[in-house]
Amino acid sequence: MSIITDDILNDIFIGLEYLINETTVNRDDNDEKIHDKLLNRNSCSELACLLKKHLGKINKEINECVSLWENVCSDENEFSEIRTAWKNCELAGDI
């Protein structure tokens, strides 16, 4: 039995999908806002990667939101810190 229920997973997916746009750095963002967005984006990328591993481990289909984050993190125009967070998570092995 898993403590992460399907309802909890769905809530996480909704939040992660929302945060794709909310954490995008805009031209008019000040330094503090950029810093906050990048910290949140970094955490989201790590969480999405961990969810991908978890879903694979329990033989569940990878949610579209996780795939969207993977695309964000593999985009060459994304901040290197964000791309690196996903790569490091992948290299870390099993959860």
Contact call for residues 85 and 42 (beta carbons, < 8 A): yes
Instruction: Fill in the DSSP letter of residue 62.
Output: P
- Give the global pTM: 0.91
Residues 15-58 have pLDDT tens digits of: 999 999 999 999 999 999 999 999 999 999 999 999 999 999 98
Instruction: Fill in the DSSP letter of residue 3.
Output: S
Q: Following CA atoms 17, 23, 36, 84 in sequence, which dihedral angle do they give, to the nearest 10 degrees?
A: 80
Of how many residues is the chain composed?
95
Give first-to-last CA distance, the chain, whole Å. Answer: 16
Residue 94's pLDDT is: 72
